[in-house]
Amino acid sequence: MVPRQVEATAKQPVILRVNRVGKAFRRFEHQPFLLRNLLMRLVGRSPPQKEFWPLRDISFEIGVGETVGVVGRNGSGKSTLLRLIAGACYPTEGEILVRGRIAPLLSLGVGFQPDMTGLECVEMNATALGLSREEIAAGMEAILSFAELTDFMQTPVRFYSSGMLARLGFSVAIHATPDLLLLDEVLSVGDLRFQKKCLERIHELQKSGTTILFVSHGPGAVRDLCDRVLWLRDGELVRDGMPGPILDEYEAAAG
């Protein structure tokens, strides 16, 4: 189900509502497209497909202007949740309701085509985020300046380092003026100076009222940035509340 628009209520402006969402993937324990296995499927003798649910029965709401952290061990469903909210994949059950423009930064540099120049990649990704030609042209200088890549705008991104891709991806997302910004481990990429620059920009977005959903393995960054924390464990939402108590419990369980 594609994320659709949700009306804000009079009591609380809601920008994101996740209602009993689950996601299943098929698990193949044999090669499904071998001729023998295809014939077995045709005659009804194929072994039953198994399913893996990285998320099950997840429900929460996020209000306009909140910064919400998502924590959990590897495999807990954090990245799957952000991909569902971004519309990169669809829930098997439940629904996701979204209000406003989303800027997903799920993996820095993903979507950049190696043979395209930095300028072309900015134009393509900004268009995918919903910016018009006029908005892209007006913001191009600021995007390249923040990324510190003005001298490399005509260079194919196949020659960019991982740090350069990180800077370009982050810069495009934050200059898209999103209502909801999705960040997946972005502060673990790039050098310390750029990470500090990203944090400063995130604080500016918070002051401007941008809603942020932030996935991180680092409780420190979540404590510094977030008003609220969601703790996922084995695909289930086990805690939703103030960062302090939840992160203390999360760190104790991880230790």
pLDDT in tens, 177-211: 889 999 887 666 567 788 888 888 999 999 999 99
Using a 10 angstrom Cβ sphere, with 0-12 exposed, 13-18 middle and 19 or more buried, the burial of residue 11 is exposed
pTM, 2 dp = 0.82
Least confident segment among 85-89, 128-132, 184-188, 249-253:
184-188
Q: Is residue 207 part of a domain?
A: yes
Alpha carbons 174 and 91: distance in angstroms, whole number: 26
How close are the terminal C-alpha atoms of the chain, in Å? 38
Q: Looking at the domain assignment, is residue 22 inside a domain? A: yes
Domains in the chain, number: 1
Residue at 172 is within a domain:
no
73 falls within a domain: yes
State pLDDT tens for residues 62-73. Answer: 999 999 999 998
Could you read off the pLDDT of 20-63 as tens digits, one per residue? 999 998 765 555 555 656 566 666 665 666 788 999 999 999 99
Angle CA(101)–CA(241)–CA(212) in degrees, nearest 5?
Answer: 20
Q: Domain span at residue 88?
A: 14-40+50-100+179-254
With CA atoms as reference, report the closest residue to 23 among 61, 54, 59: 54
Q: Categorize the per-residue pLDDT at 2 as very low, low, confident or very high, splitting at 50, 70 and 90.
A: very low
Cα distance between residue 229 and residue 222, in whole Å: 8
Spatial separation of the C-alpha atoms in residues 165 and 151, rounded to whole Å: 14
Q: What are 33's two structure tokens?
A: 């497209």
Q: What is the pLDDT of residues 82-109, one digit of tens each?
A: 999 998 889 999 999 999 889 887 765 5
CB-based burial of residue 92 (10 Å sphere; 0-12 exposed, 13-18 middle, 19+ buried)? middle
Q: Quick check: is 153 in a domain?
A: no
139, part of any domain: no
CB pairs under 8 A, 24+ apart, for 120-128?
A: 121/157, 121/168, 122/168, 122/172, 125/169, 125/172, 126/172, 126/175, 126/176
Cβ-Cβ contacts under 8 Å for 27 (sequence gap 6 or more): 49, 50, 51, 52
* Residue 110 pLDDT exceeds 70: no
The per-residue pLDDT of the chain, averaged, comes to 84
Q: Which residues contact 120 (CB under 8 A, 6 or more apart)?
A: 113
CATH number at residue 65: 3.40.50.300
Percent of the chain past pLDDT 70, that is, above it, reads 82
> Considering the domain boundaries, does residue 130 fall inside one?
no
* Range 226-244 average pLDDT: 94
Higher pLDDT, 5 or 168: 168
Q: What is the pLDDT of residue 9?
A: 40
Residue 7: pLDDT band with limits 50, 70, 90: very low
Q: Which residue has the higher pLDDT, 6 or 17?
A: 17
Residue 168 belongs to a domain = no
